[in-house]
Amino acid sequence: MTETEARPVLVAGSINTDLVARVTRAPEAGETVTGSSFAIFGGGKGANQAIAVARSGAPTTMLGALGDDDFGRARRGDLEADGIDTRSVASSTTTSSGVALIVVEEASGQNRIAYVPGATWTISPDQARAALARVQPAVILSTLEPPFDALGTLLTEGTAIRATTVVNASPEAEGVRQFLDRVDVLMVNETEAEDLLGYKVTIENAADSALALVVLGPRTVVITLGAAGAVVASDGKTERLTAPRVEVIDTTAAGDSFTGAFAADLARGADVFTAARSGVVAGSLATTIPGAYPSIPRRSAIEALLRET
Ligand code: ADP
């Protein structure tokens, strides 16, 4: 892609801290088991996507909320280290930062997760309004994690200032229905597409499934298909984009890397098919490195792999 300056992107969603304990066997109710290791990771789909946009070279503002606690300060620092504007990340004095307590059972590899959204559920319509007025974004990217009154305001008022609205219908796709009249680009994985359509989405019917989702309101629909890449439907056209062959180590943040690279390309004025090509490559690159934040690729790496494919 030619060098064009990207316009601002506003990213709304969760900023979480994952607390991961590894144990040989998960505890039963009332039981204590001794674990073998513990680690803390930055996460949250909103934060992952904001980092992906920033590493793809677009000016990025995060709209979210953290608690006035150590995890909140650490996550704010992570976002700022990637050059993300955190002035629209509220600091709640009454609610904790979002955390996920993850117990990994080594024997079975199964996870048990207690997730507390915490401050993310305090994001308010006024906060969304203030961020829009300050940033004047060209692209708005959100998951379904913020409270729906704040998300509704963001999309309604974002549409009014002619921002392109991109919504990743995650974690529970069903909630997106009420917003589909204000969504320019709907991004879903296969499971989320199935939840919205009520039938199984496969590589074979993915293009038709994307067209069926366009009928619900958005101008463009992107369905990501894991190792099989993605399909895009827009203005009556569909395109299947194959993923490059990579050595897959950990798929954490693959979808978020796709979404962020896609939004950054839109902010540079790319069309949705070109942007999705960057997205596929970004998602595949993310699978080659373990973890969330560390695996999210930079624009230079995405462009290098795009040139090879
Ligand atoms: P999510 O993580 O949201 O479910 P997907 O699994 O569909 O999203 O992955 C998003 C993108 O990441 C895909 O479009 C693809 O580009 C890349 N990807 C995911 N899994 C693989 C894989 N096994 N091999 C190569 N690329 C992958």
Q: pLDDT of 12-36, one tens digit each? A: 999 999 999 999 999 999 999 999 9
Give burial (CB, 10 Å; 0-12/13-18/19+) of 236.
exposed
Average pLDDT over residues 239-258: 96
Q: pLDDT of 72-97, one tens digit each? A: 999 999 999 999 999 999 999 999 99
Distance of CA 215 from the midpoint of ligand 1 (Å): 25
Give every CB contact of residue 12 below 8 A, 6+ residues apart in sequence.
46, 62, 63, 64, 123, 128, 140, 141, 142, 143, 145, 146, 150, 151, 154
Q: To the nearest whole number, what is the mean pLDDT of the chain?
A: 96
Cα 110 from Cα 46, distance rounded (Å) = 24
Closest CA to 99 of 138, 12, 41, 29: 41
As given in the structure block, the two tokens for residue 272 are 């949705």
Q: Which atom of ligand 1 is nearest to the CA of 281?
A: 16
pLDDT class of 1 with cuts at 50, 70, 90: very low
Q: Is residue 256 flagged as an active site residue?
A: yes
Q: Is 258's C-beta closer than 6 angstroms to any atom of ligand 1?
A: yes
Q: pLDDT of 171-204, one tens digit each? A: 999 999 999 999 999 999 999 999 999 999 999 9
Q: Is 146's C-beta closer than 6 angstroms to any atom of ligand 1?
A: no
Residue nearest (by alpha carbon) to ligand 1 atom 24: 227
Q: Of 245, 287, 289, which is best to mutate to test ligand 1, by the most ligand atoms within 8 angstroms of its C-beta? A: 287
Q: Is 227's C-beta closer than 6 angstroms to any atom of ligand 1?
A: yes
Cα 130 from Cα 10, distance rounded (Å) = 12
Q: Is 20's C-beta closer than 6 angstroms to any atom of ligand 1?
A: no
Closest CA to 260 of 24, 13, 5, 78: 13
- Flag whether pLDDT at 205 surpasses 50: yes
Cα 44 from Cα 225, distance rounded (Å) = 21
Q: pLDDT of 162-178, one tens digit each? A: 999 999 999 999 999 99
Q: What integer pLDDT is reported at residue 2 of this predicted model?
A: 46
Q: pLDDT of 86-142, one tens digit each? A: 999 999 999 999 999 999 999 888 999 999 999 999 999 999 999 999 999 999 999
Share of the chain above pLDDT 90, in %: 96
Q: H helices within the chain, ranges in order?
A: 45-55, 70-81, 125-135, 148-160, 190-197, 206-214, 254-267, 272-286, 299-308
Closest CA to 72 of 47, 40, 96: 96
- Flag whether pLDDT at 151 surpasses 80: yes
Q: What integer pLDDT is reported at residue 3 of this predicted model?
A: 56
